[in-house]
Amino acid sequence: MVCQKMAASNESGANESGNSTNSDPDERLKKLYPAVNEEETPIPRAWSAKDKFNYLVLTQNNLRVQYKGAGKTHKDAASVRATHPIPVSCGIYYFEVKIVSKGRDGYMGIGLAAQGVNQNRLPGWDKQSYGYHGDDGNSFCSSGQGEPYGPTFSTGDVVGCCVNLVENTCFYTKNGVNLGIAFTDLPHGLYPTVGLQTPGEVVEANFGQAPFVFDIEDYIREWRMKTRLTIERFPVIDRKGEWQSALQRIVSSYLVHHGYCATAEAFAKSTGQNIDEDIASIKNRQRISKLVLAGRMGEAIEATQQLYPGLLERDSNLLFLLKCRQFIEMVNGSDSEVRGSALRSPRSQHGGSNRSSPSRSPLHHSHRPTQALQHGPHSGNTSPSRTKTHTKSSLASLQPYPSLSSSISSSCSSPTVNSSLLHGNGVTHSNKTNNQSECSNTKTFSEENLNVANMANSSANGVVLNGSDARLIEDIEMMDGVLPESRDHVTNGTSNGSETNGQCLNGSSVMDCRDDDMDVDPPISRRQLCGGSQLAIEKMLQFGRELQSMSIRLKKEHGNNEANRKQLQDAFSLLAYTDPWSSPVGAQLDPVQREPVCAALNSAILESQNLPSQPPLELVISQTAQCMKLMSKAGIATSAFADPSDYLH
Amino acid sequence: MEIDDQGGWFDTLHSDEPEKWQDALLWLKNSVIGNNKQKQNAINHGIIPRLLQWLVDGDAPQHLRLEAAIIMGSMAKGTAENINTLVEEGCVSVLLKGLKSPDQAFVESCLRCLRTIFLHNSNCGSLIYQEPSIVEDLVEIMPRSVCTQECVANILASSCKEPEHQSKLCECGLIPKLVDLLAGKVYKVQMPVLKCLAGIVRENGENCVVALTAMHNNVPLPDMLVQLMLRDRTSEMQIVAAKVLAYLCGGGALAPQDPRIISKTLPCLIRMCSRDRTLEENVEGAETLAYLLEQDGELQRVAAVSDHIIKTLAEYLKYTDVQQINRCGKRIDINWGIEMKQAAFKAFAALGANEESIRKQVIETEHLMEYVVVGLNSGNMKVAAAAIRCLHSLSRSVQLLRTTIQDHGVWKPLMKIIQEGPEELLPVASSTLCNLLLEFSPSKECILDCGAISVLVNLAARPEPNLRLNGIWGLMNLTFQVEQKVKTKVVESIGTERLFRLLSDPDANIVMKTLGLLRNLLSNKLHIDHIMGMYGNQIMQAVVFILEGEHPIQVKEQTLCILANVADGDKAKDLIMGNEDMLKKLMNYMQYQPDVSLQIAAVACISNLIWSGEDGACARQAKLSEMGVQTLLQKLLSTTDTVLFEKVRTAVQQFS
């Protein structure tokens, strides 16, 4: 799903503008207010049919308001509020009102009001009510006395109202022109509101479902940047070097946790950190992790039992998880039990995940399964097509986790394109064998793009491009001497290179890392149940029966376990399809799914050694994410513009 | 470090021991890096000419030349004084020659040094045009590396001051190359590239057209600039991108209504004026805004309601601080009070240029007029010039002339500037004076007492057409419905000779205003007879002269109107009646079909001549009748033009 959409938007060339004319109103709102959790704080989408004075009539899905009262004096004024108050987590909230008709006198007010404010009045006249009036252009700040504010407005004009929940200010726009701050020190919890007073007055609201006249995205962009700078420039007093050593400890413990043995050792040495775990133990865990990530579950279970006797016996749920995965890998043709017959070299199997890390924080992969699956079929083998899949989708900003997997067709003709895939982390790109070909016109990927690509691989080789244009690119030396024309190739090189790095760091000495190592998913032609071997299928079925009985035993011993039941059911469902990979449950087969299993096993091992089951770095990230949620609940609007995932790649 | 040691190193550099030079250069390089004292010390030891020797000497070992270039670059990062020394020693042209070297590292070192010099010494700009090939080389070298891109863009940005520079750079194909660099994402290249683009298109229509059509990957330059104005870009980048767009608009390449101007550039500049930006950005923002707004009334209307811009600019007037800022590593004293004030005045002038309602808003700014008067008196050229511009813009308002402007007696400082102030302020100051002399302006009397006539007469004698125009325009304004002694004084001051010389001025506007002056002089019977009594012959000659010459219709119409005025004078009439040639001319104009305005003016003149009830009216009627005027008038009654018809009917009725 995701993948297709991204590809489509790329073709249409909607690149950076962020103004993609996507028609789905909900998507538009989501993009405007990504930090809002609508289950807790819904975004207003219409005027409230209940929360209005009865002189007003709503039509057009409760977006259009018409005055039907007597309209003789100001006592005939009538207002309506939106269905919900403005969520603080919007950060910056905006709505527009088009004046369909000014009616008799055009006594119209547009603004904000708290719940419970008298509806028999125009916005701004009462406490907790704020309005901008069309007849005189005055602003009314909780007072019957207006202040000169802006121009008047009338039929055909579009008036916008923007609430900055960070500064607690409000400004209006008229036909896309910012009229300047109207109100300061606004309380939270205000509703969008309009008020009308004379017959014939008709206005219609746009709460963000349709494109706005004013360029609110640009305004939001500025606040996003301001927030980012505040974070980046946050002063840290660190006279004793405690801050630095804490950071180093976090890095060191992360490396140890995930078993980057050699890197951890080198890092510890150069920074003077201690490693709490002995090297042999790290290497053991590393070995097991690698087996899991390669899909060789049987061997992984065996190794665990050997190295950590009693661990799996004590934690039968974990064992069950591992065995379920083993079953899946058998279907996949990856597990050692079936692999011999599938005639696949162990070497080509190892790349279960392309990430240089065997297991990263689970935070990262929420979107990947479907995406990766979609990718499998059309990206597998060396295709003679000239498609260069290199470009990040413009919609990436929509997604919490930027992915690099969408394709753009290049108009340049490069003689041979050998497309190999880095797949596990969603990086899809081809490796051009002809470096010289100058296809500068394909360099539509943004710097951010390069950035993400690099960051994804940078943990090892330290090549980081700064993503934002707004900042000086300080490590420019790296770019020096590299002509822009060859940049696309550089990215390729870096990615591949870091694959190498990652593996070397893992400590395994003999890892041959050519491109052919990276075709993680078996190409379509090789995609057969259990690798196509009859013997293996029988083994798999036998294993399935054992798994079934284990499940029954567990149920007897420990009672019903919903997670286990579901796991088993999902795993077995694979057999119901002739082509499990493209079945609705096929996502399980994706190598990415090995990562949570790997993480669970790794954590269990560490816990059994009385070490923390989660590295401090991941703890910090989760705590930060939690903190953002709390901030948003506590009405701190800046939280809308800071997303921890912006800092993770 | 021991002083003696140093002396030794310096001696080595000047010695004849080539094998030791390398080490000595290395020492020198390390000693001057980041150390201004050592730089000065090295200069005192005469190191600059020595380094230049290596640079000039193509036969010297390349590694020594490279070191020399690097050290030169280091020296250029010293004090302003150091840089001046470098320039005086002639290192710019030496370094420019170095660019021909095939050694990339050497070229880059030369460029770095040149860039630093050019950024700090604004006088160097013209040096690259000394030889035609230098600019071509620079443009050619530019794309090679990030270093060359950055340095060349900076050098060219500081060297684009004159229209000849702009044309030369454009001829070298610089614009498309800059556009390509702009598309690269390297900030430190993009910034000088933007500055260079701004320099090359500023007030240069031809270059604007070239820039408008320049593209990168099918994205036109203006669209790229819009991307660079996004609000998460740095302020510096936004403002200079906005500047380029404003210049493209000013150069006629982009229409003011183009969304990229009215809904992107304009709000960007308005943002730059806001309080949360630096003072530097405020000043630059307001100045660029003023430039952009001058183009178009609609832009002025939109700007006037944008983000409380008038209030924001009013705040500018209150700044009084003198502050040091750090520009390119050099501390400079800037009087922000002056900078902010002049920027605000310029912006106010542009905002109120066309629309009365905006002028009213501007004038309602607290104490604005006081600030303008203080500005006029300030003695600071920049502020005074901007204040006059502001006053000029506001003086277009009839209401303000009668009220605020009068109340503050702005004419006093204004007259002072015209009489004693610098030449540069004369055009706008005299133009403002013209407005203050309009008949409904209460300041008129005071200004007259202050010697306005001689001021304006002097202006009318200036060789500069714009000053002549303002002089005669002012005289025209002040003679409108004024008492006779003033008129006489005007005529005496200017002298008939000069007056008639102005009637043959090559500038049609000046001819028009001179005729306007004559017409004002010749109004109301008494005055007409008085003046015609003194200058009748000359005036009639001048009228004939114009009517027979090649002139635009408006000029002829104005002349006929003068004739009509003359015909209104009791005695003056005779000057026309006695001139049969003139009467025939009038009759011709009565039948002048191509333009009805001339017919109207001619009929009005006839009508005055035959006005019944005046002395000798019958005789005149008879004479004109005899010439066929009456028949002609009868014929004209069939006209479809209502104004003409009215005039004709009035004239016909005079025949009793």
> pLDDT, tens digit, for every residue of B166-205?
999 999 999 999 999 999 989 999 999 999 999 999 999 9
The pTM of this model reads 0.73
- Partner-chain contact B306 A479, CB within 8 Å: no
Residue A339 has what pLDDT? 63
Q: How would DSSP label each residue in A35-89?
A: T--TTTSPPP-SEEEEEE-TTEEEETTTTEEEE-S--SSGGG-EEEEESSPPPGG
Q: Who among A178, A472, A473 is closest to B307 (CB)?
A: A178
C-alpha A443/C-alpha B186 separation (Å) is: 15
**What's the confidence (pLDDT) of residue B17?**
83
The pLDDT score that the predictor gives to residue B106 is 95
Phi, then psi, of B320 in degrees rounded to 5: -135, 0
Q: Do B186 and A473 touch (CB under 8 A)?
A: yes
Report the gap between the CA of A179 and the closest CA in chain B (Å).
4
User: Under 8 Å CB-to-CB from A168, ≥6 apart: which residues?
Assistant: A184, A185, A186, A187, A188
Torsion of CA A439, A443, A449, A455, to 10 degrees: 40
Q: How far is A470 from chain B (nearest CA, A)?
A: 4
**A465-to-A251, A373, A451, B400, B516 alpha-carbon distances in Å:** 20, 29, 5, 58, 70
Q: Give pLDDT, residue A410.
A: 37
**Least CA distance to B358: which residue of chain A?**
A151
Q: Which residue among A178, A219, A479 sits closest to B186, beta carbon to beta carbon?
A: A479
Which of A177, A219, A484 is facing B306, going by the closest CB pair? A177
Q: Three-state SS for B334?
A: strand
- Per-residue CA distances from A579 to A332, A421, A574 (Å): 11, 22, 8
**CB-CB contact of A570 with A590 (8 Å):** no
Integer Cα distance of A238 and B541 in angstroms: 93
Distance in angstroms (rounded) separating the CA atoms of residues A297 and B480: 105
Q: Does B593 touch chain A (CB under 8 A)?
A: no
In the predicted model, what is the mean pLDDT of chain B? Answer: 89
Nearest to A322 by CA among A547, A573, A163, A642: A547
Q: Which of B602, B582, B577, B583 is nearest to B592 (CA)?
A: B602
Rounded to the nearest 10°, the torsion over CA A429, A435, A436, A439 is: 0
- CA-based R_g, chain A, Å: 30
What is the number of other CB atoms lying within 10 angstroms of the CB of residue B551?
Answer: 19
Task: State how far the Cα of B504 lies from the Cα of B481, in Å rounded to an integer.
Answer: 25
Contact A468 B232 (CB under 8 A): yes
Give Cβ neighbours of residue B298 (< 8 Å, ≥ 6 apart): B256, B257, B262
Is the minimum CB–CB distance between B366 and chain A shorter than 8 Å?
A: no
Sheet with A191-196, strands from edge to edge, namely A47-52, A78-82, A191-196, A109-113, A129-133, A138-141, A147-148
Contacts of B454 (CB under 8 A, 6+ apart): B493
Residue A469 to residue B233, Cβ atoms within 8 A: yes
SS3 category, A206 = strand
Judge contact between B362 and B310, C-beta under 8 A. Answer: yes
| Residue of A171, A178, A446 best to disrupt the B interface, most CBs of B under 10 A | A178
- Give the pLDDT of residue A407: 37
Q: What is the pLDDT of residue B315?
A: 92
Question: Do A225 and B145 lie within an 8 Å CB cutoff?
Answer: no
Q: Is some CB atom of chain A closer than 8 A to the CB atom of B186?
A: yes
End-to-end CA distance of chain B: 116
Closest CA to A641 of A91, A17, A42: A91
Give the chain B residue whose CA is nearest to the CA of A478.
Answer: B146
What is the distance, to the nearest Å, from the Cα of residue A523 to the centroid of all Cα atoms in its chain?
A: 28
Low-confidence ranges of chain A (pLDDT < 50): 1-22, 341-525
Neighboring chain B residues of A176 at a CB cutoff of 8 Å = 263
Cα–Cα distances in angstroms (integers) from residue A543 to residues A365, A499, B210, B315, in the given order: 29, 34, 74, 81
**pLDDT score for B575:** 84
- A224 Cβ under 8 Å from any chain B Cβ: yes
Q: In whole angstroms, how large is the CA radius of gyration of chain B? A: 34
Q: Which residue of A has its CA nearest to B312?
A: A180
Structure-token match 């991108």, residue found: B241
> Is the Cβ pair B227, A447 closer than 8 Å?
no
A153, A162, A177, A478: best mutation site toward chain B, by most B Cβ within 10 Å? A177
CA distances from B331 to A590, B283, B325, B326, B334 (A): 62, 18, 6, 5, 9
Residue A196 backbone phi and psi in degrees, to 5: -130, 160
- Measured CA to CA, the distance from residue A176 to residue B282 in angstroms comes to 23
Question: Which H, E and C letters describe B444-479, residue by residue?
Answer: HHHHHHCCHHHHHHHHHCCCCHHHHHHHHHHHHHHC
Q: How far apart are the first and last CA of chain A?
A: 22
**Residue A419 corresponds to which amino acid?**
S
With beta carbons under 8 A apart, name residues in chain A contacting B267: 177-178
CB contact under 8 A, A181 and B308: yes
Determine whether the interchain pair B146/A480 forms a contact, defined as Cβ–Cβ distance below 8 Å.
Answer: yes
Q: Which of residues 368-407 of A touch B (CB under 8 A)?
A: none
Instruction: Give the HSE-up count for residue B615: Cα atoms under 13 Å, Cβ half-sphere.
Output: 6
CB spacing of B145 vs A480 below 8 angstroms: yes
Task: Output the six-digit token pair for A618.
Answer: 């991941």
- The β-bridge partners of B219 are B216
User: Apex CA B370: angle with CA B368 and CA B371, to 5°?
Assistant: 65
In angstroms, the Cα distances linking A191 to A26, A32, A113, A131, A459 are: 19, 18, 5, 12, 46
Nearest CA in chain A to B234: A470
Q: Which candidate, B654, B649, B560, places its Cα nearest to that of B599?
A: B560
Task: Measure A630 CA to nearest chain B CA, in Å.
Answer: 27
Q: What is residue A325's three-state secondary structure?
A: helix
Cβ neighbours of A471 in B, within 8 Å: 187, 234
Angle between helices B642-654 and B596-609 (to 10 degrees): 20
Return the residue of A nearest to B236 by Cα: A470
Chain B residue with minimum CA distance to A470:
B233
Token digits of residue B64 = 């020594």
- Pick from B396, B279, B402, B285: which is nearest to B346 by CA? B285
Hey, are the CB atoms on B267 and A178 less than 8 Å from each other?
yes
pLDDT at B508: 87
Is A178 in contact with B187 (Cβ distance < 8 A)? no
Q: What is the chain B residue with the closest CA to A173?
A: B306
Rounded CA-CA distance A8/A11 in Å is 5
Touching A: B residues 194-233, CB under 8 Å: 217, 227, 230-233
Q: Determine the 3-state secondary structure of B655 from DSSP.
A: coil
Contact A219 B306 (CB under 8 A): no
CB contacts, 8 Å: B300 with chain A: none
CA pair distance A378, A375, nearest whole angstrom:
6
Does the beta-carbon distance from B231 to A180 stay under 8 Å? no
Smallest CA–CA distance from A475 into chain B, residue: B186
A 10 A CB-CB count for A136 gives: 15
Comparing CB atoms, the residue among B147, B227, B234 nearest residue A470 is: B234
A50: left (phi over 0), alpha (psi -120 to 50) or beta: alpha
Here the ipTM equals 0.83
Judging contacts by C-beta atoms under 8 Å, the chain A residues touching residue B184 are: 484
B302 touches chain A (CB under 8 A): yes
Q: What is the 3-state secondary structure (H, E, C) of B30-94?
A: HHHCCCHHHHHHHHHCCHHHHHHHHHHCCCCCHHHHHHHHHHHHHHHCCCHHHHHHHHHCCHHHH
The dihedral region occupied by A258, where left means phi > 0, alpha psi between -120 and 50, and beta the remainder, is alpha
Three-state DSSP class for residue B353: coil
Contacts of B227 in chain A (CB under 8 A): 16
Task: Check if B357 contacts A (Cβ < 8 Å).
Answer: no
Lookup result for tokens 């007056």: B499
List of residues 6+ apart from B139 with CB closer than 8 A: B152, B156, B169, B172, B173, B174, B177
- Distance of alpha carbon B62 from the chain centroid: 50
* The pairing of beta strand A201-206 with beta strand A129-133: unpaired
The DSSP letter of residue B538 is: H
Regions of chain B where pLDDT drops below 50: 1-3
Give the whole-angstrom CA distance, residue B63 versus residue B61: 6
For A480, the closest of B147, B233, B307 (CB atoms) is B147
What distance in Å separates residue A129's CA from the closest CA in chain B? 22
pLDDT value at residue B326: 61
Q: How far is B348 from chain A (nearest CA, A)?
A: 18
Closest CA to A229 of B186, B279, B232: B232
Run of H or E residues at A120: none
